[in-house]
Amino acid sequence: MSASPDAVRIAAVGDVHMGPDIRGRYRPALAALPDDADLLLVAGDLTQHGLVEEAEVFAEEFADLGVPVVTVLGNHDYHADLELKIRKVLCDAGITVLEGEGVVIPTPAGDVGVAGAKGFCLGFSGRRASYFGEPQMKAFTGHGQHSAELLRKAFQGLDAPVRVGLTHFSPVVDTLSGEPPEIWAFLGNYLLGDAIDEAGADLAIHGHAHAGVEKGITPGGVPVRNVAQPVIHTAYRVYDVVPGGAR
């Protein structure tokens, strides 16, 4: 079905885990992207082990696709403590990388504002970490809280008729169904969902939960989509979005 003329076509995928061993395999699946979508969002875990050479493969596969590409990093991209070098590789290739920042992308259907942050663990109602006890526990919880503040910051001043929250960690528990409940606290963070609701976003995109499900919703009614590649089983999924929500 073709998109409505007033709808922005947002393609999204996450957890592609690129590396030299799969160089050249993903690019052909992106050939039709300019016909399908107005922009592409990538929800983190671009690499396998957070190595620069893996980021270079991602850049080779995802740069110059004919549409703007906007991404956040994921936990895998931080593994080797090379996230700043990875970011530079991507930015040099013309790919926008967000962490506590927002960007407005012009499209034929109107501007799209993307607020991006990786996010972090914390959990959800009844299964969340608390800022109490040992310094290590406070550091863990505090980082989860800080990650949500970064997303709030990214939405501030983001003036566009369609606004999207892009994270790696999940903002809701809905899309984690299929993952063991014991690890939900390590897959998402309810404060990310709060930030998305407070901003009045039209759509939220995330990855990370490989065994989860695609569709969820925030407490405030914002559609959430888990676009981890093992979940959507395709090179990308396209969502038609108009001001007020995804279709």
- 64-102: per-residue pLDDT in tens? 999 999 999 999 999 999 999 999 999 999 999 999 999
Q: Return the pLDDT at 6.
A: 79
The mean pLDDT value for 147-171 works out to 97
- Compute CA 74 distance to the chain's CA centroid, rounded to the nearest angstrom: 8
| pLDDT tens by residue, 197-226 | 999 999 999 999 999 999 999 999 999 999
- Are 118 and 154 within 8 A, CB to CB? no
- Using CA atoms, how far residue 188 sits from 7, 77, 122, 177, 237, in Å, is 29, 17, 6, 12, 21
- Are 114 and 95 within 8 A, CB to CB? no
The residues that bridge with 173 in the sheet, in sequence order, are none
Residue with tokens 């979940």: 231
Q: Is the pLDDT of residue 44 over 70?
A: yes
- Give the DSSP H/E element, type plus range, for residue 224: strand 223-226
Q: Return the pLDDT at 126.
A: 74
Q: Return the pLDDT at 4.
A: 52
Confidence of residue 242 (pLDDT cuts 50, 70, 90): confident
- Are 77 and 48 within 8 A, CB to CB? no
**Least confident stretch, 3-17, 27-41, 152-166:** 3-17
Q: Return the pLDDT at 246.
A: 62
Q: Return the pLDDT at 1.
A: 35
d(CA 189, CA 26): 30
Q: Global pTM?
A: 0.95
Q: Return the pLDDT at 127.
A: 76
- Give the DSSP H/E element, type plus range, for residue 162: strand 162-166
